[in-house]
Structure 1
Amino acid sequence: MSRLTSEPAASIRSMGELLATAMGMEKESADRYADLAGRMRAAGRRELADVFDRLVLEETGHIDMVVSWSRQIIDKPPEILRPEAAPQGIFDEEGIGLVSPELVDAYRSLAIAVRNEERAFAFWSYVAAHGASPEIREAAEQMAREELEHAKTLRSERRKAFFKDRRSASAIQEPYDLSSLEMEVCTRLEEYAGMNESAEIKNRYRDLALEAHKLSLDLESDPLHPPSPVGPPPRSLDALCEWLADHYIDAGEHLPSQAARDRAQALATIAVKRLAIVHDLVQR
């Protein structure tokens, strides 16, 4: 699950509080991944320890970014939040610490990290919508964008883990019609909007549907020809959105021209953001 377990209890009311919150979230993630790395290393699963070590490095980089940003904005490092003041339900190791290391793999580990970044994106999106000042809302939007980029990077790593040793063995497939798939997403989003009684959620589905419709028209007039993926696209809305996000990420890494890769990466950013929103909406 990639949604918040509950809405943040109170609006963030100062930049100092926002930066302290960001620091606390990143530090918790780094500490928890470090614990998991140690557990995997103790169990002799060096390859998984390396995965969690990479996640620790990712989170350490995020911490450094928050500290640097804090020095620029408030001329000092962010404060450390008391545990009871930290946001709840953002980081979730999904019980992986209780599972035998023999049953854990790189794909599952990275999938958990992806969902954590999506929850962080949902948190900062909420703060951006309810911030006490324009400065806080703008900063929260920036944090949401950062989490989205983190999720995109981890999705790429997760995809590599899943398809490791499979690409060469795959049968050659014709590229899928991405325009038609985006139009299918549009149709499904409109259906979800029609079934929902909440005006706010209905409008969010319709905004996403309009975006998918525009993407479909763009891809119809100027098709993107990424490498063929392994496996056909699924039909459920959230799974199809996830398939497209992974497909665009893969295209952004493997298309032959820089212009095509840049275009695919832009599509990936849109698709990852859409997926995070859909994951949140379908659970409501």
Structure 2
Amino acid sequence: MPLLRASLLKSEPAGSLRSLDEMFSLAHAMEREAATRYAELADDMRRQKKDDLAEVFAQLAAAERDHVDSVTQWSQSRRGKVPNPALVRWEAPETVDADTAAELKGSRLMTPYRALAMAVRNEERAFAFWSYLAAYSEDPEVKKAAEAMAREELGHVAILRKERRRAYHVEHGKPAGEAGAARSQVSARRLELRLVAQLADLERRLAGPAAARTRELLDKTKQMVDQAGDFGSFPASIEQRDAQTIAEALADAYLEGAESSSDETRVGTLQGLAEKAIDRLAWLRSLA
């Protein structure tokens, strides 16, 4: 199983999608479940008098309700009917698993930044889920629609990462706009080269399937060196950080770059890089 799916999904989906109707029904159920869980967390935070966290989860719930409406409209435009819950044959990844929910409700250290980091992880999991279904679908129409859902989740990741960065700078007393003000001219290509060296070293220290997966990741990273070109500007100090930190910085940058660019070709390149970067980051996190 590809790296992203292995490290983000706790288990493989229990089947493949048979029709567009089933795909729309599953997508609708996933978005609706996410909206419900975030709304419940917002209520929990209000009861605990954690108003800042309540606001974060209320906004996440509202965004997911918009996604529910989008899937409904998509189904109506393609199939002439709303999604049918009866067509959902197996469980999708949970928006918030039991352990995370318990931490959110009981932790005194939970902050908007940590809450948004959790939401980013959830969207990455949804992206992995749809990528898996697209890869294993035998119906061309279903495959194309599942790929569209995966791209949509990737867009959600980009938006939430931006909000997470803003929350981080608020919590640390810095305006969000200062985040990139002092960056030096270290390019994404240079950081990709640094990751090539780090992943090669990691592969030598691993064995069996873990080494094989790391080798696959290393090969992808070598391809990304040239694809990155002259993109990006990062603090020079990040080059000396560990592989996971560098990988996360690159994933953030590719996502942000794709969102802000008006050049269609560049957007496509950066989205492709972002997908591979999230692949890589998920695997490094699983090793950690």
Of all paired residues, the percent bearing the same amino acid is 32
Cross-structure match for 2:97: 92
Cross-structure match for 1:214: 226
On the 8 A contact 2:113/2:167 being kept in 1, the answer is yes
Query: 1:48 aligned to 2:45?
Result: no
Which letter maps to 1:4? L
TM-score, scaled relative to structure 1 = 0.80
Q: Alignment partner of 2:12: what SS?
A: coil
Cross-structure match for 1:23: 28
- In structure 2, the CA distance between the partners of 1:172 and 1:126, relative to structure 1 (3 Å rule), is closer
Q: Alignment partner of 1:95: what SS?
A: helix
Gapped runs of 5+ residues in structure 1? none
Quote the offset at 1:272 in angstroms. Answer: 3.6
Cross-structure match for 2:9: 4
Instruction: Report which stretch shifted further, 231-240 or 168-177.
Output: 168-177
C-alpha deviations, 1:94-138, integer Å up to 9, x for none? 524443364321001101110000001111111011113111111
- Aligned equivalent of 1:139, options 142, 145, 152: 145
- In structure 2, the CA distance between the partners of 1:40 and 1:78, relative to structure 1 (3 Å rule), is same
Q: Distance in 2 between matches of 1:253 and 1:72?
A: 26
Figure out how many residues of one structure are paired with residues of the other and give that number: 273
- In structure 2, the CA distance between the partners of 1:212 and 1:235, relative to structure 1 (3 Å rule), is farther
Q: Distance in 2 between matches of 1:77 and 1:171?
A: 44
Q: Distance in 2 between matches of 1:169 and 1:119?
A: 30
Cross-structure match for 2:196: 186
Instruction: Report which stretch shifted further, 232-241 or 101-110.
Output: 232-241
- In structure 2, the CA distance between the partners of 1:233 and 1:42, relative to structure 1 (3 Å rule), is farther
Cross-structure match for 2:278: 276
- In structure 2, the CA distance between the partners of 1:5 and 1:53, relative to structure 1 (3 Å rule), is same
Q: Distance in 1 between matches of 2:178 and 2:134?
A: 45
Quote the offset at 1:240 in angstroms. Answer: 1.3
On the 8 A contact 2:35/2:61 being kept in 1, the answer is yes
Quote the offset at 1:52 in angstroms. Answer: 0.7
Which letter maps to 2:191? L
Cross-structure match for 1:159: 165
On the 8 A contact 1:233/1:243 being kept in 2, the answer is no
Quote the offset at 1:43 in angstroms. Answer: 1.8
On the 8 A contact 2:34/2:95 being kept in 1, the answer is no
Which letter maps to 1:274? K
Gapped runs of 5+ residues in structure 2? 1-5
Matching of residues 74-153 of structure 1 within 5 Å? 74-81=79-86, 85-89=90-94, 91-92=96-97, 94-98=99-103, 99-100=105-106, 102-153=108-159
- In structure 2, the CA distance between the partners of 1:22 and 1:203, relative to structure 1 (3 Å rule), is farther
Cross-structure match for 2:3: none
- In structure 2, the CA distance between the partners of 1:154 and 1:23, relative to structure 1 (3 Å rule), is same
On the 8 A contact 1:96/1:104 being kept in 2, the answer is no
On the 8 A contact 1:120/1:147 being kept in 2, the answer is yes
On the 8 A contact 1:245/1:268 being kept in 2, the answer is no
Quote the offset at 1:161 in angstroms. Answer: 0.5
Which letter maps to 1:113? A
Q: Distance in 1 between matches of 2:138 and 2:259?
A: 40
Which letter maps to 1:244? L
Query: 1:13 aligned to 2:18?
Result: yes
How large is the RMSD of aligned CA atoms in angstroms? 3.6
Q: Alignment partner of 1:103: what SS?
A: coil
Q: Distance in 2 between matches of 1:38 and 1:68?
A: 28
Matching of residues 246-257 of structure 1 within 5 Å? 246-247=252-253
Quote the offset at 1:212 in angstroms. Answer: 2.0
- In structure 2, the CA distance between the partners of 1:135 and 1:201, relative to structure 1 (3 Å rule), is farther
